[in-house]
Structures are given as structure tokens and as C-alpha cells.
Amino acid sequence: MKQGLAEINELVGVWGSLLCNNQGGLIDSAPPPEFNQAALENIARHSVELLSTGGESVQGLKEVVMHFQEKRLFILDMQQAVLVVLCNPSIDISLLRLTINIITSRWEEDSKVQKLLSKNYLERL
């Protein structure tokens, strides 16, 4: 899993990435150096809340891209977990999406990753 996050981070414009459970707890991360554990947990919790509290307006939504002045946040709902990627505003979202699709496809076929995701699975609140 760490290797997949590292591959995402190799894309030009990506600061860091993290994977959290459905209640915002960190499963794994490849964060930017300036982010501490508390900041990562805060990002994870708010990302899950965004997917959880939107009600019918976001029901079935698989990804969210949040635009900020100095960064973008790409959030992917993987059902068992949530992938969050911190990016520069100039990130090529299509290339990021393609890279993430390749990595998540590998994760789906990797029994070790699936075991880790199952172990960390929690129902979304």
C-alpha cells in the first residue's frame, strides 16, 4: 500500500497522499514533510465527513476535488476506505485520476492490501 501512495506522490504537483478508514482514522500515509499526524487526521476526518454528511446530494459520489487558493484536495471513496491526495492547484487531474485508477486496481488484486483494508473496515457514520 505504501508503494502505491509513493507512486501517487511521484506525480508532478502532488504533495502527499493518505488512506483512511470510513470514520477518518489513518490506515497509511505518504504525507508532505510539513504535515504532522494531527494535521493528517484532521484532513482524513473532514474528507470522510464530506462524503458522509452530504445526504442525497452526494449519494453515489465516488470522488470529490476541492479547490483552495494554494492547493487541491482529491478525495476518492473506495467504499472500504477513502483515499486523499493533496495537490498543487496546477495538478493535471486527468493524469492523477488515471494513476489512481491503476493503483487502486492493483490494490483490488493484492490479497495483502485487501486483508489490511478488511482489518481496518468500519461502517461509515
Question: Which CATH number is 88's domain given?
Answer: 3.30.450.30
In this predicted model, what pLDDT tens digit does every residue of 59-113 receive, in sequence order?
A: 667 899 999 888 999 999 999 999 999 999 999 999 999 999 999 999 999 999 9
In this predicted model, what pLDDT tens digit does every residue of 18-34 receive, in sequence order?
A: 999 999 999 999 998 88
Q: Is residue 16 part of a domain?
A: yes
Q: Is residue 69 part of a domain?
A: yes
How many domains does the structure of the chain reveal?
Answer: 1
pTM of the shown model? 0.91
Q: Is residue 111 part of a domain?
A: yes
Q: Is residue 125 part of a domain?
A: no
Q: Is residue 62 part of a domain?
A: yes
Range of the domain at 82: 2-119
Q: Is residue 105 part of a domain?
A: yes
Q: Is residue 124 part of a domain?
A: no
Task: Specify burial of residue 55 (Cβ count, 10 A radius: 0-12, 13-18, 19+).
Answer: exposed
In this structure, the number of other CB atoms found within 10 A of the CB of residue 69 comes to: 5
In this structure, the number of other CB atoms found within 10 A of the CB of residue 7 comes to: 17
Q: Is residue 21 part of a domain?
A: yes
